[in-house]
Amino acid sequence: MTTAARSLVSPLLLARGFGQGTDFDIYTRAAIADESSDRPIIRMVGSSTVKDLQGDTMMVTALEDMTRCDSNLTIFIDHTYDLPDSVYGSLMESPTIKMQGGIADLHLAVETDFSRPVSKARDIYTQISKGKIRMGCSIGCQVTNYSLEEGADRDSWSLNVP
């Protein structure tokens, strides 16, 4: 079976909404403050192999790819990426994968940016650490390079991202 590799978003994917902002969002369970640290650390699941509300499923290989990100990757509060207001902080270390019950979760440890005395990040950390509010984590992804098997079912997608 042959594959067709493309480096830009195809007209078919554009018609389905890909390449126009994030291509998909994944929402996970509530974030928690790391009370064993003297630094403002939040631990959260950034992604999972559980089928999400839109019917999308991440493969374990996709989670493995995510573990190879910059260990100091900037983490944003929302999907608007307005600087500096949307910056939450940065990863403390490379993400790790934990398996349980046939489900793989990508775990993140994020240090909250306390560089400004008044910020959304500081407020969110305070709310999470005091148990005032439950907040989850979501990732936004934009596919920039992919291949599709020829003749593949166009109602479901298996993207092979290099």
pTM of the model: 0.70
Tell me if 108 is assigned to some domain.
yes
Among 135, 160, 123, which Cα is nearest to 145's?
160
Tell me if 61 is assigned to some domain.
yes
In terms of residue numbers, what domain contains 42?
Answer: 23-143
Tell me if 39 is assigned to some domain.
yes
Tell me if 12 is assigned to some domain.
no
pLDDT (tens digit per residue) in 28-42: 567 889 999 999 999
**Total domains in the fold of the chain:** 1
pLDDT (tens digit per residue) in 86-121: 899 999 999 999 998 888 999 999 999 999 999 999
State the average pLDDT for the chain: 78
Among 49, 46, 161, 23, which Cα is nearest to 94's?
46
Tell me if 9 is assigned to some domain.
no
Tell me if 155 is assigned to some domain.
no
In the chain, count H helices and then E strands: 3, 10
Tell me if 68 is assigned to some domain.
yes
Tell me if 11 is assigned to some domain.
no
